[in-house]
Amino acid sequence: MRPVHRQAIELAMTFADQAVIAIENVRLFDVVQARTEEQSSVSVRTSFVIVRVVYFPSMFAALRMGDQRAISAFTKLLNFAGVRSPLLGSDPPRSASRVWTPGSSSA
């Protein structure tokens, strides 16, 4: 058996060091990916809360008062969500299967 050269040992140690770094990078990437997904989920939930607490009450008050700009904006919002709105007689996208009716909670 021939002796192993010092350069071969150093090369093998360098490969081992790089493998450790690569494994740690994968672990850290997974952590960052999970936190990014969590942050995105929190952001979406926060947006829904803001819309429900801030936007909808003022929108419904304007709708009750017959504000045409509010009716138009609300109709666009419903149509964007794929909900049929009778407010201005507009049609939803063809993929929509829900129908909005006054008093329904589908919007």
The domain locations on the chain are 1-65, 67-107
Q: Which amino acid is at 86?
A: P
Q: How confident is the model at residue 21 (pLDDT cuts 50, 70, 90)?
A: very high
Q: Which amino acid is at 33?
A: Q
Cα–Cα distance for residue pair 102/107, rounded to 1 Å? 10
Enter the pTM of the model: 0.41
CB atoms within 10 A of CB 82: 14
Q: Report CA 34 to chain centroid distance, whole Å.
A: 14
pLDDT tens-digit profile of 51-92? 777 777 777 777 778 778 877 777 777 777 666 655 445 444
